[in-house]
Amino acid sequence: MKSTVSVIGAGTAGLIAARELCRKDIKVSIYDQKSVPGSQIHASGILSLSGLKTLDVDYHKASTNRLYGANIHAGGENIEIRSKEAKACVLDRKELNEICIEEAVREGVRMNLGKRVTGTELDVLHASSIILGADGAFSSVAAHFGMGSIGRYVLTYKAEFNVGGRGGVVDLFFDRETTPGLFGWLCPNSEDILEVGVGIDSKKGNAKKAFERFIKTKEITKIIDGARMIDGGASMIPISRREQVVDNVAEVLLVGDSAGQVKASTGGGIIFGSNAAIIAAEEIQRHIEDGTSLASYEKRFVKEYGLDMALHKVINSLYSRIGNRSIGIGLKCMRWLGVDSFLGKYGDMDRPSLMIKRALLRSA
């Protein structure tokens, strides 16, 4: 049985997995094709404070803003969700990755940055070590070991504008014509920088064109009028699980975007992907020490997060399928029923199952 691990991909999921494995006295080497790893380094990082606690990462240095709520807009209606305390924060993704690298190195992870792992190199590493693929949405590990595909992706395009004064509130705009399959967003990355972005179903067009349409809408033009666009770029997020995420016989596992462990309702993948990384490290340890099957990694992930992943999928298919007017009516009803203040108090952006539990307890 193999007793060392090669982690391919030094994004958040790979680095957390490697750190956890080292803490368990397992020899780990991590490889990344970039010298500054993390394919989504220019992506926003809105993370719930409750989710961040579970990662055991000292993220404070990377935090650029704290978030107290969201405005949701659709079909000419909107609801405002507010909380007295900050529920989430915006993290500088480059800084977050640097912190994760420092923590991994401190625990003894051997870093190999600026080195793309090819199929031949994967075979060499695989001959003597367990392979943990954390190499993002277009995983070479998954392709090399025949672990199937990911069914759904969203395309994103986002840019920063020098607009301040938005406080700690995110705006989400649902519009089936402009952003089919996801939404447009405004996120105050800091006091004077506003991120404007869109996500659309990858089968429904071009994200840059959707972005151009979005910033020309009345609501957005009003906000960014006269501002300077600082940075812009496109990306892709997997929003469904890969067909296979573990192969016990081959001793290969996938975590993070490579496994499609992303919330389908928002495209957020850091909390679930990193929690999967922690579970994977625990199951690798049991496999090495007691010979248990690595298949328990997938079973545990589904047991702990399967319901939430399914609920995020339901939310995504709801807003993707119904028209703007119907979403608008839905928002109006939510306001009338007081759902906005319920969400402000009990909302959980990662784990809707916990929110439902709270609602049931409240009504009992």
**260 binds ligand FAD, rule: CB under 6 A:** no
Contacts of residue 341, Cβ cutoff 8 Å, sequence gap at least 6: none
Q: Which of 156, 265, 285, 324 binds ligand FAD (CB under 6 A)?
A: 156
Nearest to 262 by CA among 296, 297, 234, 237: 237
The single-letter DSSP state of residue 228 is: P
Cα distance between residue 277 and residue 331, in whole Å: 36
Residues in the chain: 364
Q: Which of 69, 197, 344, 352 binds ligand FAD (CB under 6 A)?
A: 197
Q: Which of 39, 83, 202, 265 binds ligand FAD (CB under 6 A)?
A: 39
Task: Pick the piece of the chain touching ligand FAD (CB under 6 A) from 161-169, 210-218, 262-270, 284-292.
Answer: 262-270
Nearer to ligand FAD, 143 or 322 (CB): 143
Site for ligand FAD in 208-237 (CB under 6 A): 235, 237
Q: Which of 256, 260, 330, 347 binds ligand FAD (CB under 6 A)?
A: 256
Looking at the chain, the number of H-run helices and the number of E-run strands are 12, 16
Nearer to ligand FAD, 9 or 347 (CB): 9
Q: Which of 87, 144, 158, 176 binds ligand FAD (CB under 6 A)?
A: 158
**What is the end-to-end Cα distance of the chain in Å, rounded?**
51
- In whole angstroms, the minimum distance from the beta carbon of 190 to ligand FAD comes to 14
Distances (CA, A) of 219 to 73, 74, 121, 173, 198: 10, 12, 51, 10, 14
**184 binds ligand FAD, rule: CB under 6 A:** no
**69 binds ligand FAD, rule: CB under 6 A:** no
- In whole angstroms, the minimum distance from the beta carbon of 193 to ligand FAD comes to 15
Cα distance between residue 287 and residue 326, in whole Å: 50
Kindly determine how many residues on this chain lie close enough to bind ligand FAD according to the rule CB under 6 A: 40
Q: Which of 53, 116, 325, 345 binds ligand FAD (CB under 6 A)?
A: 116
Tell me which residue has tokens 């494995």: 21
Alpha carbons within 13 A on the beta-carbon side of 231: 9
Nearer to ligand FAD, 194 or 262 (CB): 262
Q: Are 38 and 93 in contact (CB under 8 A)?
A: yes
Token pair of 336 as six digits: 């009338």
Torsion of CA 355, 85, 187, 75, to 10 degrees: 50
- In whole angstroms, the minimum distance from the beta carbon of 290 to ligand FAD comes to 28
Nearest to 63 by CA among 47, 50, 87, 85: 47
Nearer to ligand FAD, 45 or 181 (CB): 45
Q: Which of 257, 283, 308, 340 binds ligand FAD (CB under 6 A)?
A: 257
- The phi and psi torsions of 134 (rounded to 5 degrees) equal -130, 40
Give residues in contact with ligand FAD (CB under 6 A).
8-14, 31-34, 37-40, 43-47, 116-117, 134-136, 140, 156, 158, 197, 235, 237, 256-257, 262, 267-271, 273
